[in-house]
Chain A
Amino acid sequence: AQSVTQLDSQVPVFEEAPVELRCNYSSSVSVYLFWYVQYPNQGLQLLLKYLSGSTLVKGINGFEAEFNKSQTSFHLRKPSVHISDTAEYFCAVSNSYDKVIFGPGTSLSVIP
Chain B
Amino acid sequence: DTEVTQTPKHLVMGMTNKKSLKCEQHMGHRAMYWYKQKAKKPPELMFVYSYEKLSINESVPSRFSPECPNSSLLNLHLHALQPEDSALYLCASSQQGGVQETQYFGPGTRLLVL
Residue ranges of A at the interface with B (Cβ–Cβ < 8 Å) = 32, 34, 41-46, 49, 51, 90, 94-96, 98-100, 102-105, 107
Query: With the chains together, A99 CA to B108 CA distance in Å?
Result: 21
B56 touches A99 (CB 8 A): yes
A104 touches B42 (CB 8 A): yes
B4 touches A32 (CB 8 A): no
A43 touches B100 (CB 8 A): no
B99 touches A32 (CB 8 A): yes
Contact indicator per residue, chain B 46-83, by CB within 8 Å of chain A (1) or not (0)? 00100000001000000000000000000000000000
Residues of A within 8 A of B45 (CB): 99-100
Query: With the chains together, A42 CA to B110 CA distance in Å?
Result: 10
B35 CB → nearest A CB, Å:
9
Query: With the chains together, A111 CA to B2 CA distance in Å?
Result: 31
Which partner residue on chain A sits nearest B97 by CB separation?
A99
16 CB contacts below 8 A, A to B, read A34-B102, A41-B107, A42-B107, A44-B90, A44-B103, A46-B102, A49-B100, A90-B42, A94-B100, A98-B99, A100-B45, A100-B99, A100-B103, A102-B42, A103-B42, A105-B42
Residue ranges of B at the interface with A (Cβ–Cβ < 8 Å) = 4, 40-43, 45, 48, 56, 90, 92, 99-100, 102-108
Given contacts A42-B107, A43-B107, contact A105 B102 (CB under 8 A): no
A63 CB → nearest B CB, Å:
15
Residues of A within 8 A of B48 (CB): 99
Identify which of A44, A46, A99, A104 contacts B41 (C-beta below 8 A): A104
A49 touches B102 (CB 8 A): yes
A37 CB → nearest B CB, Å:
11
Given contacts A103-B42, A105-B40, contact A43 B99 (CB under 8 A): no
Residues of A within 8 A of B43 (CB): 44, 90, 102
Identify which of A41, A45, A51, A105 contacts B105 (C-beta below 8 A): A45
Residues of A within 8 A of B4 (CB): 43
Query: With the chains together, A28 CA to B40 CA distance in Å?
Result: 28
